[in-house]
Homo-oligomer: A and B are copies of this chain.
Amino acid sequence: MQGAFRALADPTRRQILKHLSRHEMSIGDVANRFDITRAAVKKHLTILEEGRLISVTARGRERFNRLEPEGLKSAADWLGFFDRFWDHRLDDLKSAIENHEKKSND
């Protein structure tokens, strides 16, 4: 849980997840898509792994990083606790629109 949110806090790591959602990639593959060094990418991948957002499999001299949605799911579940709050808010918005349809651009 903590590891997952920690991993998600960095925009580069979130981008990496989007890339990995298409297909698994080696560290070099990932690094080619960013302007940072392979070493920095490796650190990000380690943090993603600690957060259980990816899993890593060695194959020959390469290590393939694959999406492992377990951590993503735990984060989504945590956020799910608050669903009711924005549901209510959407209801409020809806009735506000219905009650004030006469108003124009404001």
Contact = CB atoms under 8 A, between A and B. Distances in A.
Interface of A: 2, 5-6, 8-9, 11, 14, 17-18, 21, 67, 69-70, 72-73, 75-76, 78-83, 85-86, 89
Q: Looking at chain A's contact residues, is the secondary structure mostly helix, strand, loop, or mixed?
A: helix
B76 A21 contact: no
Contacts of A8: 5, 8-9
A11 B72 CA distance: 16
Contact of A76 (B70, B73, B80): B80
Q: Closest 6 CB pairs between A and B?
A: A9-B9, A69-B86, A69-B85, A76-B79, A73-B86, A72-B82
Nearest to A8: B5
